[in-house]
Amino acid sequence: MTAKLDVAGLSVTFGEGSRAVHAAQDVTFSVAKGEAFGLIGESGSGKSTVLRAVAGLNAYAGVVALDGAPARRPRPRAFFRRVQMVFQDPYGSLHPRKMVRSVLMEPMLIHGIGDCDRRVAETLVAVGLSPDYAYRYPHQLSGGQRQRVAIARCLVVEPEVLLLDEPTSALDVSVQAGVLNLLDGLRRARGLTYVLVSHDLRVVAHLCERIAVMTEGRVVEQIDADAIRAARCRHPYTRALLASSRGWTRSAASSDTAPA
Ligand code: ADP
Ligand code: MG
């Protein structure tokens, strides 16, 4: 399979001189078409920085390439037709005075996509909401429903790659599994490519086939999820992560069901 998204030698530094923070250092990974790739590490390890750099939201050194073509900075509009990002906080990411319908229309207007009302209805159904949610405001939605709307806002442009930054960590535990299962189903149904960032090994192992482990801005290990589940990881940090989620199994996570 050809790699769809390549990140090579990616480094991000915030600040200068003695105050410089090397948030990402020489990060390299490739994500194949249709693959779900996880980026895991504790808070402050540089996961969001890497994802934001991939989206072109942070200045960086190194290369981010889509289908082998290096992405320019600032990213051209066409890039966001293909690559969309879901943020952690569905409360902060939806404008409080915009109805769901206009939230979903906006990216279609930006990218010159027509037939908006039909797409709004279809996309709401695809994320597990009924079409009449188009006429609601964010304050009339639960956290899980807001995150579903944020996911729908990405999907209306029919992207190929979703960058997901802790997409469920701001949600109640009872609704997390529902949103994760939705993401899993969407990827399989649409052949989407995911880069999923999380500090939670369970979330990443539930959704991803391969995982990069970050600590202090560096990728210290790349493993496949089966190895994680079988506890076949080498790096002490990965082992510690695993130990802290002992007792967890994929089947236990998959059997969780939750309402929107
Ligand atoms: P994670 O997502 O793994 O929790 P981040 O990528 O958000 O980690 O942060 C990595 C490091 O970079 C942290 O030390 C953080 O304080 C720092 N950092 C992130 N964004 C900025 C910024 N805009 N300016 C200065 N430092 C930043
Ligand atoms: Mg983060």
In a domain, residue 80? The reply is yes
What mean pLDDT is reported for the chain? Answer: 90
The CA dihedral of 228, 161, 157, 146, to the nearest 10 degrees, is 30
In a domain, residue 258? The reply is no
Q: Are 129 and 145 in contact (CB under 8 A)?
A: yes
CATH number at residue 205: 3.40.50.300
Amino acid, single-letter form, for residue 150: A
Q: Say what the pLDDT of residue 92 is.
A: 83
In a domain, residue 210? The reply is yes
Question: Is pLDDT at 253 greater than 60 in this prediction?
Answer: no
Least confident range of 13-17, 149-153, 232-236: 232-236
How far, in Å, is the centroid of ligand 1 from the Cα of 66? 24
- Ligand 1, closest atom to CA 214? 3
The model carries a pTM of 0.92
How far, in Å, is the centroid of ligand 1 from the Cα of 22? 9
In a domain, residue 47? The reply is yes
Burial of 57 (0-12, 13-18, 19+ CB in 10 A): middle
* Residue of 24, 15, 78 whose CA lies nearest to 51: 24
In a domain, residue 251? The reply is no
In a domain, residue 253? The reply is no
Instruction: Say yes or no: CB of residue 59 within 6 Å of ligand 1.
Output: no
Question: Is pLDDT at 109 greater than 90 in this prediction?
Answer: yes
Q: How many domains does the chain have?
A: 1
* Sign of the torsion formed by the C-alpha atoms of 162, 165, 168 and 171: negative
For the stretch 149-202, pLDDT in tens is 999 999 999 999 999 999 999 999 889 999 999 999 999 999 999 999 999 888
In a domain, residue 49? The reply is yes
Helix (H) or strand (E) holding 153: helix 143-155
